[in-house]
Chains A and B, each alone.
Chain A
């Protein structure tokens, strides 16, 4: 199994902050990585696929980068609607998820 490790587990930030979440894969996954946003009681929502491609309808303040084993999700200016939990997900070999990063209000 390919293991996905996210950091940090929790991130405290304020509206307007630039925030970044890191995801590391236990082996190379090329660019087969996606990012999801999940709010309490709701299903996850796809934000980024193939490491850096923005899903249709997702605000441009979200961006993804990286390849191989290290990836980053960046929110350029945090908005009130962005407080949620974020998951990375590899689909290079089977499908596995990171443990999640909760973005909370500082």
Chain B
């Protein structure tokens, strides 16, 4: 059974760096075809894809946020980490980590999400 769980701060001040960790089980990020993505959802709004990392360390970023995002993986710990620099109140959202199978796959299994508020 595949599960993913997000962790990180619930409150961050503007201009700070946000670091979120996805800890997963039931699969390995060293297995061919596997990937993990980060997706966010501001309160009452739609979903927005942020970043994705594949088993082969191929990394993709949202063009509009690319300069602020870094995604990394630690295969031995079954973790994926997303950092977002220079946060702003508009970054207030629920952040989800999501499993994807294949470079032409849909987001099939989602974590429960973690709410992050950006406020001074």
Residue tally, chain A, CB below 8 Å to B: 22
- Bound-state Cα–Cα, A89 to B48, Å: 10
Closest chain B CB from A88 CB (angstroms): 10
Tell me whether B46 and A98 are in contact (CB under 8 A).
Answer: yes
How many A-B contacts at CB < 8 Å in the complex?
A: 52
Closest chain A CB from B112 CB (angstroms): 6
Interface size class of chain B, counting residues whose CB lies under 8 Å from the partner chain = 20 to 34
Partner of A49, one of B46, B64, B108: B108
- Bound-state Cα–Cα, A15 to B48, Å: 31
Tell me whether A95 and B37 are in contact (CB under 8 A).
Answer: yes
Tell me whether A45 and B107 are in contact (CB under 8 A).
Answer: no
* Chain B residues proximal to chain A, CB less than 8 Å: 37, 46-49, 52, 60, 62-64, 96, 104-113
